[in-house]
Structure 1
């Protein structure tokens, strides 16, 4: 399965979601490659920090920030169980290529009406991609949120009326994710029973229920 984590809005936590999904699948003994398609290279930086910390590699990270992803990602997928694409913000040609490669696209949004409005262009790109890939599945993921806050609930209710729908699983705004990013680790490696680790496990399980 090829999963693309995309949103034209920056700062919504795409790399956090992409890295931790890849890590959760790897923890389940799946063969995983993460494609860093963001010119900022956040996932590659995380991988390099992991090497500096002397930590073993748990999944491959490759940099492919170019608009040939729709050709290259399926080739990589032949030798692994899952490919995760950490997409770029505001680069339409790269996003189109990632969408044409993907079986599932996840759109992380923060609990704010502004994030919902900013996703309009992303939804237009998905509609365009479905002309060529009508089987493409898409879901919103509420990220960096407090699940019990009013704004999170309102955002979830707003997105519930959208196509694509929003996942029930949410990912919180937690210090553990920032600590993991700085140290080249995953939250499950820091504390496998932490709320952050449980949120990733729940998100992964929900993806499994709709996976093609």
Structure 2
């Protein structure tokens, strides 16, 4: 399965979700490749940091920020159980290429009406891509949710009625994600019993069930 995390709005946590999704699938015994298609190269930076810390490689991370992604990702998928694409933060040929490569498209949003409005452009591009890839699945992912806030609940309820809908699993706004990233780790490596680790596991399991 090729899962792409895409949203032209920056700061929604695409890279954090991509790394943890890849890590959770790898932890389950799958072979995983993460494609860093963001020109900023944040996932590659995380991988280098991990190497400097002497930590074992859980999954491969490669830089592929070019608009031939839809040709190259399927080739990589033949050698892996899962491919995760950390997409670019703006609308461009690269994002269109990522859309054409994916089996599952995940749109990370934060619990804010501004994030919902900013998703309109990516939804338009998804509809264009459906002409060529009518079978792919699309879901919103509610990320960085403050605990027990009205706006988080209202955003989740609103997205549940949208097309595409939101995943049931959500990710909270937790300090452990930032502290883990600083040393090239995943939250499950910092505290396997943490709420964050359990949220990531639930998210990965739900996305895995979307595979065509």
| TM > 0.5 fold call | yes
**2 CA distance for matches of 1:160 and 1:63?**
34
Q: Which runs of 5+ in 1 are unaligned?
A: none
Aligned 8 A contact 2:104 2:210 in 1: no
Post-superposition offset of 1:185 = 0.3
**2 CA distance for matches of 1:79 and 1:104?**
18
Post-superposition offset of 1:147 = 4.6
**1 CA distance for matches of 2:137 and 2:95?**
15
Matched, 1:172 2:142: no
Aligned 8 A contact 2:7 2:87 in 1: yes
Count residues with an aligned counterpart.
212
What is residue 159 of structure 1 aligned with on the other side? Answer: 159
Considering fraction of residues, name the structure with more strand: 1
Could you say what the CA RMSD is over the residues aligned between the two structures, in angstroms?
0.8
What is residue 102 of structure 2 aligned with on the other side? Answer: 102
Aligned 8 A contact 2:21 2:204 in 1: yes
1:128-143 superposed matches below 5 A: 128-143=128-143
What is residue 20 of structure 2 aligned with on the other side? Answer: 20
Aligned 8 A contact 2:35 2:61 in 1: yes
Structure 2-normalised TM-score? 0.98
Q: Secondary structure at the match of 1:210?
A: coil
What is residue 117 of structure 1 aligned with on the other side? Answer: 117
Deviates more, 1:202-211 or 1:22-31: 202-211
Aligned 8 A contact 1:69 1:98 in 2: yes
Moved over 4 A (4+): none
Aligned 8 A contact 1:147 1:170 in 2: no
Deviates more, 1:160-169 or 1:25-34: 160-169
Aligned 8 A contact 2:65 2:94 in 1: yes
Aligned 8 A contact 1:3 1:83 in 2: yes
Q: Which runs of 5+ in 2 are unaligned?
A: none
